[in-house]
Amino acid sequence: MEEFNSLMQGFSVALTYHNLLFMLVGILLGVLIGVLPGLGGANGVAILLPLTFTMPPTSAIIMLSCIYWGALFGGAITSILFNIPGEPWSVATTFDGHPMAKNGRAGEALTAAFTSSFVGALFAVIMITFLAPLVAKFSLKFGPPEFFAVQLLTFCSFVGLGKGHPAKTISAMMLGFALAAVGLDTVTGTLRMTFGTSELLRGFDFLIAVIGLFGIGEILLTMEEGLAFKGVHARINPRVVLQTWAQLPKYWLTALRATLIGCWMGITPGGATPASFMSYGIAKRFSRTGEKFGTGEIEGVVAPETAAHAAGTSALLPMLTLGIPGSPTSAVLLGGLLIWGLQPGPLLFVEQKEFVWGLIASMYIGNIAGLLIVLTTVPWWAAILRVPFSIIAPVIVVICAIGAYTVHNAMLDVMLMLVFGVVGYVFKKLDYPLAPMVLALVLGDMAESSFRQSMLLSRGDVSIFWSNGLVGGICGLALLMLFWPVISKLLARLRRGNNELDEARPVE
- Give the binding site for other proteins (CB under 8 A): 50-51, 165, 167-168, 170-171, 174-175, 177-178, 181, 185, 187-188, 190-193, 216, 219-220, 223-224, 226-227, 388-391, 393-395, 397-398, 401-402, 405-406, 409, 411, 414-415, 418, 421-422, 425-427, 429-430, 432, 448, 451-452, 455-456, 460
Of 59 and 321, CB closest to other proteins: 59
Q: Is 493 buried (19+), middle (13-18) or exposed (0-12) by CB count in 10 A?
A: exposed
Complete DSSP assignment for 369-387? HHHHHHHHHHHHHHHHHTS
CA distances from 202 to 101, 183, 184, 197, 336 (A): 49, 6, 7, 10, 17
3-state secondary structure of 184: strand
Q: How far is the CB of 388 from other proteins (least distance, A)?
A: 5
Main-chain dihedrals φ then ψ at residue 433, nearest 5 degrees? -75, 140
Taking the complex as a whole, the smallest distance from the CB of residue 41 to other proteins amounts, in Å, to 21
CB of 207 to other proteins, least distance (A): 15
Type of residue at 24: L
Q: How crowded is residue 174: how many other Cβ atoms within 10 Å of its Cβ?
A: 14
Q: Minimum distance between the CB of residue 69 and other proteins, rounded to whole angstroms?
A: 23
- Name the DSSP letter for residue 466: G
> How near is the Cβ of 172 to other proteins at its closest, in Å?
9
Closer Cβ to other proteins, 178 or 234, answer by number: 178
Pairing of strands 183-184, 191-192: antiparallel
Q: Which is nearer to other proteins, 60 or 124 (CB)?
A: 60
Sign of CA dihedral 78, 79, 85, 86: positive
In this structure, are residues 207 and 46 in contact, taking their beta carbons and an 8 Å threshold?
Answer: yes
In the 8-state DSSP scheme, what is residue 188? T
- Nearest CB to other proteins, comparing residues 166 and 281: 166
- Whichever of 193 and 368 has its CB closer to other proteins, that residue is 193
379 vs 394 by CB, closer to other proteins: 394
Distances (CA, A) of 396 to 25, 43, 57, 401, 423: 19, 11, 27, 8, 18
Beta partners for 191? Answer: 184
Min CB(31)–other proteins separation in Å: 19
Q: Tell me the β-bridge partners of 497.
A: none
Minimum distance of other proteins from residue 323's CB (angstroms):
18
Return d(Cα 258, Cα 311) in angstroms, integer: 9
Minimal distance in Å, beta carbon 429 to other proteins?
6
Q: What is the smallest separation between the CB atom of 228 and other proteins, expressed in angstroms?
A: 12
For other proteins, the closer CB: 15 or 384: 384
Could you tell me where the DSSP H helices lie in 315-410?
316-322, 328-339, 348-351, 353-385, 389-408
CB of residue 154 vs other proteins: minimum separation in angstroms?
15
State the minimum distance, in angstroms, from the CB of residue 230 to other proteins: 17
Q: Which is nearer to other proteins, 53 or 380 (CB)?
A: 53
Which one, 228 or 246, has the nearer CB to other proteins? 228
Give 391 or 504: the residue with its C-beta nearer to other proteins: 391
Q: How many whole angstroms separate alpha carbon 82 and alpha carbon 164?
A: 27
Beta bridge partners of 192: 183
Question: For residues 176 and 266, which CB has a smaller minimum distance to other proteins in the complex?
Answer: 176
CA distance 280 to 95: 9
Among 226, 270, 189, 158, smallest CA distance to 393 is for 226
Q: Judge contact between 404 and 208, C-beta under 8 A.
A: yes
Return the number of the residue (411 or 491) whose C-beta is nearest other proteins: 411
**Least distance from other proteins to the Cβ atom of residue 190, Å:** 4
Cα–Cα nearest to 160, from 447, 479, 437, 496: 479
The CA-based diameter of the chain, rounded to the nearest angstrom, is: 69
Angstrom distance (rounded) from CA 4 to CA 235:
40
3-state secondary structure of 192: strand
